[in-house]
Structure formats: structure tokens, C-alpha cells
């Protein structure tokens, strides 16, 4: 730019014929450059110079050989937009954007609680020490396309606490005697509320197991069982006394009572398939030892890798091994 200004000042003292010759030489040079490069590379200062010349020189379109006049006009418009953009950015900014972790938390809350609106989420965030405007929460919430409805997982978990399952399975002894094991299972946390072993199950004995299972706790609403003949009128009378409504699975459809069926398979795979049962008392001791491990330490995928009785997360201390069921299973914990 300084070189151009210096040449312009020197041209004021040159003769008119000399200026015409120099102008002709420069035009020829521009024509040669235009043939060599169809689209020359221009810098911002080049655009600024031609924007200024277009205001100072009336016939600037005749002098312009590098680019088209329409391009120069677009440069001027762009410069106008950039000027006003810089002016608008100098003012104080508006409301700052929420951090990404808070936006993710809002989406998580709205997804996990489909019945919540923006005011409920604002209140929940306030309990966490996060102050957010209701309009911001409404902006980042997960948009619902239809009426509010819980997920199937939440729907089933809501009803599992009011359901128990009852079933039998047989275990042979070393003397080829058949033992019957009765299980009363709470479906919500997969806890075995009661179990007992007998060689001769009857409807009266089975009904008495219900009374023993709920002697010190409130009975739920529904009882799931199959259509085995071992459940007779006496069993139904005991269930009615406890306020239990019996739900029978279809003939040959064990998948309609899945939780207790899955537990029986787990007991066989993890315990009884590795033990030779000697007697009724021996089976009772083995199952009692296994259920102590099952309730307190065995993790379940359906419980988000937690035990039925709940197991705390230990983060410090030396790890030690604790055996269960005679060393058949172990759990690991940190020493205090």
C-alpha cells in the first residue's frame, strides 16, 4: 500500500505522455496476467483498495481488469456486514449457554421421568444446587411426540413389588430318594422369602409354607403359580386368608412364571449340580448356605449388578477372598 501511494505521488510530477505510456504498459501486463491465470488470488488488502477506488473513481469499471465489477460490489457489501457485525458484538452478551453437563442432566431427567414437566425438573435441579430458568429447561428437554407413558421396564418394576412366585423342584439323594423343595420368591428383588424341603408334599403342607413366609411381613397382592395338583383347596384357602390373588400360568407354559423358574435353574447350575445330596437335612443346610451367599453377595444383571439384599461399593482397603457353600463360591471384599 505504501509503494502504491509513493508511486501515485511521483506520478503527479511526471509528464502526461509518460503517464499514458506507463498506463498502456500496465494494462498490457494485466492482460498477460489474466491470460496466464483465469482466477488470480486476491488478499483482503486488495479487496479493500478496490472498494475505496470504486468510491473515488467514477469510471473504475473500465480500469478493473482483474475481477468483474459485480465482485467488487459484493466485497463492499461484505465489508458493510462485517462492520456492523463487529459493532453488535461490542455490546454486552445475552444469557450465557448452559454447560454441556447440565444440558445432558436435563435430558436425562426428562427421559427418566416421562411424567415430569419443566417446573418439576427446575425444582429437582434446585435440590442439587443448580439454578436454571424454566425456559432453558424447556429448551433442552427431550421432546415428547405423544402422551406421557412410562417405559415397559418402569411399568413392570412398579408391579413387581406386589407379586410373588411359588414353585417346586425335585432333588434326588444318594439313596435315590426324591426330595421336594418349595420356594416362595419375591419378584421385585429376587429374594427367597421362604423355602422348605419335604419328602411328601401335600396341599395342607404347601399352604402352611405361605403362612410361614408371611408370618412377620405383609403379603403382596398377587401370587403366581403353575397348575400342579399339589396346590389344592387348602392352599387356596391359606392364600385367600393372606389376601393373595392367585394367578395360574397356562398349561405347559413355564415362561409365564419366569422369575422362579430362572431361580431354580440358577440353584441347579451353581449349587446342586456340584453336590451329592445325602439326606433331607443335608439338602436344607446346603440350600441355606447357598441362599446366604445368593442374597448378600451374588450380583444380578436385572438388579443393575447388585445383590438382592443390596451390596455397598468398597473403594479402599486390601482385597480379601471369603468362601461360601464350602468353597464352591467366593466373594471379594476390602478389609477395613
pLDDT of 317 > 80? The answer is: yes
Provide the CATH number for the domain formed by 161-327 in this structure.
3.30.420.10
Radius of gyration for the chain, computed over Cα atoms and rounded to the nearest angstrom: 42
Please list the residues that pair with 331 across neighbouring strands: 322
Least confident of 29-38, 133-142, 171-180: 29-38
**Can you give the pLDDT at residue 264?**
95
Least confident of 27-31, 162-166, 183-187: 27-31
**Can you read off the three cell numbers belonging to residue 145?**
411426540
Rounded to whole angstroms, the Cα distance separating 103 from 119 reads: 15
Q: Which residue has the higher pLDDT, 49 or 325?
A: 325
> What ranges do the domains of the chain cover?
17-85, 100-142, 161-327
pLDDT of 75 > 90? The answer is: no
**Can you give the pLDDT at residue 221?**
87
Cell numbers 395338583: residue: 229
C-alpha distances (whole Å) from 299 to each of 293, 304, 308, 331 are 10, 8, 8, 10
Amino acid at each position: 500500500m505504501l509503494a502504491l501511494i509513493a508511486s501515485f505521488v511521483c506520478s503527479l510530477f511526471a509528464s502526461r505522455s509518460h503517464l499514458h505510456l506507463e498506463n498502456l504498459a500496465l494494462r498490457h501486463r494485466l492482460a498477460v496476467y489474466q491470460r496466464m491465470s483465469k482466477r488470480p488470488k486476491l488478499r483482503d488488502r486488495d479487496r479493500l483498495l478496490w472498494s475505496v477506488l470504486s468510491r473515488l473513481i467514477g469510471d473504475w469499471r473500465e480500469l478493473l481488469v482483474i475481477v468483474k465489477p459485480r465482485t467488487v460490489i459484493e466485497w463492499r457489501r461484505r465489508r458493510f456486514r462485517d462492520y456492523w457485525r463487529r459493532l453488535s458484538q461490542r455490546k454486552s452478551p445475552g444469557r450465557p449457554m448452559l454447560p454441556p453437563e447440565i444440558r445432558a442432566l436435563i435430558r436425562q431427567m426428562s427421559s427418566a421421568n416421562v411424567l415430569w414437566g419443566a417446573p418439576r425438573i427446575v425444582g429437582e435441579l434446585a435440590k442439587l444446587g443448580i439454578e436454571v430458568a424454566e425456559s432453558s429447561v424447556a429448551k433442552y428437554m427431550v421432546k415428547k411426540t405423544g402422551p406421557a407413558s412410562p417405559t415397559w421396564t418402569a411399568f413392570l418394576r412398579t408391579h413387581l413389588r406386589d407379586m410373588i412366585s411359588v414353585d417346586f423342584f425335585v432333588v434326588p439323594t444318594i439313596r435315590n430318594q426324591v426330595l421336594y423343595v418349595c420356594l416362595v420368591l419375591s419378584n421385585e428383588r429376587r429374594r427367597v422369602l421362604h423355602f422348605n424341603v419335604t419328602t411328601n408334599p401335600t396341599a395342607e403342607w404347601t399352604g402352611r409354607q405361605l403362612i410361614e413366609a408371611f408370618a412377620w411381613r405383609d403379603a403382596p397382592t398377587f401370587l403366581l403359580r403353575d397348575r400342579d395338583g399339589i396346590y389344592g383347596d387348602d392352599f387356596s384357602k391359606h392364600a385367600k386368608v393372606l389376601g393373595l390373588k392367585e394367578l395360574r400360568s397356562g398349561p405347559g407354559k413355564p415362561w409365564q412364571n419366569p422369575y422362579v423358574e430362572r431361580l431354580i435353574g440358577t440353584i441347579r447350575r451353581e449349587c446342586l449340580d456340584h453336590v451329592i445330596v445325602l439326606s433331607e437335612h443335608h439338602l436344607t443346610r446346603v440350600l441355606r448356605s447357598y441362599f446366604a451367599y445368593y442374597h448378600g453377595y451374588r450380583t444380578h444383571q436385572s438388579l443393575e449388578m447388585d445383590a438382592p439384599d443390596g451390596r455397598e461399593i468398597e473403594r479402599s482397603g486390601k482385597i480379601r477372598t471369603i468362601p461360601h457353600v464350602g468353597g464352591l463360591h467366593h466373594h471379594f471384599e476390602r478389609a477395613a
